[in-house]
């Protein structure tokens, strides 16, 4: 989705680093430090002086996996080489640069000539948003609608791709505008009928169309900032979370977290946002930490809208690849976004001109107890005795909130004492609505591509697909993917009074095509397990972790040959398994803006590589088909979905006894 960038909204802090020495770091997967980001800027700018360099993405070019695993197993933890991947635009060409921070040099510089462009920057979107406000034809259109120009705000939208054979030579956004005048909820007051095309590299308006006039929805009822609360039949008392002895987890300077039997690393990235790495759990029976997840993060968020009108058809967003899921992260507020017992982590990024920026409190970590039960039993079968045992469920949550335009995504990793990792995405914020002539449902005699949620206000049908990159290393990096098919069997030969039963038929995927799964299809009940075939429990079961889908393992409804679906082809299957490849991180491709879908997970997987008993990556896509409802107006209650990674014969017994 598009971004509405107001500096005061994001409360960014831009500053130059004047320190002459780097900050201390030990962890090889730690995000680039402030000093390192400044190094990157200086190295790249000096190499291309006097050319103008615009920075679109800077992130850690993590060491090879084998080096990291060797570092992890060593006792002295020697410093590994620090490198950065830098994506820039220089002289209207896209450069992919690898910078060696140890030698203060550029290792490689590749000019990208394929389809697609890098992430949009905050600054160029802000500049594009401001262009219409001084553009005479637009000012005339606003006067024609009898609106006040000072109450108008605009924002740019990525335009996608719709079958053009030749590569677009221009980076483009289309700008739409909104009307405040009595509300801060701009998204509920769109100014319809106007399409403004902006060339980003030249920062000029290339095309302007004022097609029709549609009533702007009224401001009344759209405010969500007011202090007045709805009268309730019974007021709730406040709830406070207190840990008198302080948190039970530790967070070191390298952002390694230790809690209970869990140990893992947390990092921030401009594109992925929050990254969880090297998650392992202590096995008391074996007296050692055992690996579970080498690296997990949001790879892409695909949000196609179903409105086919001129001002809407191109709204098929890739929130990570076009806008940056991490770049859209916001400062978390103590006692509101996160409870009182939370600790916070800052994030650092580079702005368009190379200036380092700080995102304070972008990730929070806290212990959660919500009255849930971890396990319990009441035994009544022993004569004369009542035996009862209950253990409360306390878990550790790592959270980030990304505000991508109108939507706020709350992403949680929840680590449980039982060994499970539960991943949840909460959707809240504001609907994207289209202004309409209709004030009542009975007036509608055409397909309006949405729900009438208020007078003159149509909430557009749309999807949210979240694709996670999950590099599971289940007790080692040589793993396999097993499908446990639950099959119904008929009772034969009258061996039982029963007529049927079900059993498990296991199938180990040999190649990538064997592992593609579209949940909810006619294949029947299924368990999906990543196993270590080289290790077994004492009773002979393969050690594994099971993927448990949440309540909405949604599959796309668009046709395979529709252009948005070609670009988002990685959503066709909920599950993909690929051999580990350091370069295969972004399901929608490295250069997603105006991409043609020719460098995606769906394309890589066509090689049908072997995935048995090797280092593999599990990709999981889930989401929702969102049919807007009146309860989503003017601000949407949080809707949550997700999945769980659960130990399956990983331990010898229940690990929380």
> In the beta sheet, which residues pair with residue 459?
433, 451
Is residue 111 within 8 Å of residue 94, measured between CB atoms? Answer: yes
Residue 4 has a pLDDT of 40
Is residue 407 within 8 Å of residue 387, measured between CB atoms? Answer: no
Q: Rounded CA gap, 398 and 389, in Å?
A: 29
Is residue 582 within 8 Å of residue 64, measured between CB atoms? Answer: yes
Residue 167 CB contacts under 8 Å (≥ 6 apart), including other chains: 114, 115
CA angle at 471 for the pair 467 and 477, rounded to the nearest 5° = 160
Quick one: which of 614, 638, 588 has its CA closest to 512?
Answer: 614
Q: Rounded CA gap, 603 and 576, in Å?
A: 12
DSSP-assigned states of every residue in 536-601: E-TTSPEEEEEEEE-S------S-TTSHHHHHTGGGSSSEEEEE--TT---TT-S--BT--SSSSH
Q: Rounded CA gap, 389 and 359, in Å?
A: 45
Residues 465-500: tens digit of each pLDDT: 999 999 999 999 999 999 999 999 999 988 999 999
Which pTM does this prediction carry? 0.95
Quick one: which of 29, 37, 89 has its CA closest to 58?
Answer: 37
Is residue 130 within 8 Å of residue 137, measured between CB atoms? Answer: no
Instruction: Give the residues of the chain that fall short of pLDDT 70.
Output: 1-25, 227-232, 522-523, 551-553
Q: Rounded CA gap, 586 and 468, in Å?
A: 9
Q: Rounded CA gap, 394 and 637, in Å?
A: 25
> In the beta sheet, which residues pair with residue 472?
293
Return left, alpha or beta for 371; rule: phi > 0 is left, psi -120 to 50 is alpha, else beta. left
Is residue 648 within 8 Å of residue 546, measured between CB atoms? Answer: yes
Residue 165 has a pLDDT of 82
* Cβ atoms within 10 Å, residue 191: 23
Quick one: which of 335, 314, 336, 349 has its CA closest to 408?
Answer: 336
Residue 438 has a pLDDT of 98
Quick one: which of 282, 247, 619 has its CA closest to 397?
Answer: 247
Residue 466 CB contacts under 8 Å (≥ 6 apart), including other chains: 298, 300, 301, 425, 621, 622, 623, 641
Residue 331 has a pLDDT of 98
Residue 520 has a pLDDT of 82
Instruction: Judge if the upstream peptide bond of residue 309 is cis by omega within 30 degrees of 0.
Output: no
- In a 13 Å sphere around the CA of 60, the CA atoms on its Cβ side amount to 22
- Rounded to a whole number of angstroms, the distance between the first and last alpha carbons of the chain is 46
Residue 24 has a pLDDT of 47
3-state secondary structure 421-448: EEEEEEEEECCCEEECCCCCHHHCCCCC
Q: Rounded CA gap, 24 and 26, in Å?
A: 7
Segments of 91-217 assigned E as strands = 93-100, 105-112, 152-158, 172-179, 190-199, 204-210
Residues 548-593: tens digit of each pLDDT: 998 666 899 999 999 999 999 999 999 999 999 999 999 999 999 9
Sign of the Cα pseudo-torsion (183, 188, 193, 197, in order): positive
Any idea which residues carry the catalytic annotation? 319, 407
CA angle at 296 for the pair 413 and 369, rounded to the nearest 5° = 10
| SS3 label, residue 299 | strand
3-state secondary structure 377-427: EEECCCCCCCEEEEEECCEEEEEEEEEECCEEEEEEEEEECCCCEEEEEEE
């Amino acid at each position: 989705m598009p971004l509405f960038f107001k500096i005061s909204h994001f409360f960014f802090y831009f500053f130059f680093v004047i320190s002459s020495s780097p900050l201390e770091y030990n962890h090889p997967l730690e995000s680039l430090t402030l000093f390192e980001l400044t190094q990157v800027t200086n190295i790249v700018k000096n190499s291309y002086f006097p050319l103008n360099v615009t920075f679109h993405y800077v992130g850690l070019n993590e060491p090879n996996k084998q080096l990291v695993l060797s570092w992890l197993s060593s006792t002295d933890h020697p410093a590994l080489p620090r490198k950065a991947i830098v994506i820039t635009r220089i002289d209207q060409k896209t450069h992919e640069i690898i910078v060696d921070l140890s030698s203060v040099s550029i290792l490689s510089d590749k000019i990208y000539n394929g389809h697609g462009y890098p992430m949009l920057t905050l600054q160029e979107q802000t500049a594009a948003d401001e262009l219409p406000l001084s553009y005479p034809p637009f000012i005339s259109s606003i006067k024609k609608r009898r609106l006040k120009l000072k109450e108008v705000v605009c924002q740019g939208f990525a335009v996608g791709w719709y079958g053009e054979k030749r590569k677009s030579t221009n980076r483009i956004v289309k700008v739409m505008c909104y009307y405040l005048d009595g509300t801060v909820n701009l998204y509920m007051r769109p100014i319809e009928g106007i399409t403004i095309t902006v060339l980003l590299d030249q920062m000029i308006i290339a095309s302007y169309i004022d097609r029709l006039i549609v009533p702007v929805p009224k401001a009344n009822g759209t405010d969500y900032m007011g202090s007045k609360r709805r009268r309730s039949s019974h007021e709730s008392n406040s709830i406070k979370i207190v840990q008198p002895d302080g948190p039970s987890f530790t967070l070191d300077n390298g952002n390694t977290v230790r809690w209970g039997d869990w140990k893992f690393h947390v990092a921030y990235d401009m594109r992925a946002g929050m990254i969880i790495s090297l998650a392992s759990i202590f096995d008391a029976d074996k007296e050692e930490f055992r690996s579970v997840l080498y690296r997990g993060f949001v790879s892409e968020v695909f949000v196609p809208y179903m409105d086919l009108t001129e001002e809407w058809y191109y709204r098929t967003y890739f929130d990570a690849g076009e806008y940056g899921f991490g770049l859209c992260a916001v400062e978390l507020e103590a006692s509101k976004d996160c409870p009182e017992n939370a600790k916070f982590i800052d994030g650092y990024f580079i702005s368009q001109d190379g200036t380092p920026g700080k995102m304070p409190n972008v990730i929070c970590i806290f212990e959660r107890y919500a009255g849930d039960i971890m396990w319990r039993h009441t035994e009544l079968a022993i004569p004369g005795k009542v035996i009862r045992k209950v253990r409360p469920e306390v878990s550790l949550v790592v959270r980030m909130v990304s505000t991508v335009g109108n939507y706020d995504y709350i992403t949680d990793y929840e680590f449980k004492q039982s060994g499970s990792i539960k991943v949840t995405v909460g959707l809240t914020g504001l609907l994207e609505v289209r202004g309409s002539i209709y004030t009542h449902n009975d007036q509608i005699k055409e397909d309006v591509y949405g729900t009438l949620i208020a007078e003159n206000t149509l909430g557009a049908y749309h999807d949210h697909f979240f694709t996670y990159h999950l590099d599971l290393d289940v007790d080692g990096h040589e793993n396999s993917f097993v499908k446990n098919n639950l099959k119904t069997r008929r009772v034969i030969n009258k061996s039982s009074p029963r007529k049927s039963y079900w059993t498990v038929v296991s199938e180990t995927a040999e190649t990538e095509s064997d592992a593609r799964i579209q949940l909810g299809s006619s294949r029947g009940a299924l368990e999906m397990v990543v196993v270590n075939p080289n290790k077994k429990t004492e009773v002979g079961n393969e050690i594994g972790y099971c993927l448990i889908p949440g309540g909405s393992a949604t599959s796309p409804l668009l046709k395979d040959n529709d252009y948005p679906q070609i670009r988002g082809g990685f959503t066709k299957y909920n599950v993909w398994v690929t051999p580990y490849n350091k370069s295969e991180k972004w399901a929608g491709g490295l250069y997603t803006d105006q991409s043609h879908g020719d460098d995606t997970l769906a394309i890589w997987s066509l090689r049908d590589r072997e995935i048995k008993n090797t280092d593999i990556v599990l990709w999981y896509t889930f989401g929702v088909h969102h049919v807007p409802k009146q309860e989503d107006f003017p601000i949407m209650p949080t809707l949550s979905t997700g999945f769980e990674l659960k130990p399956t014969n990983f331990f010898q017994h229940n690990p929380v006894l």
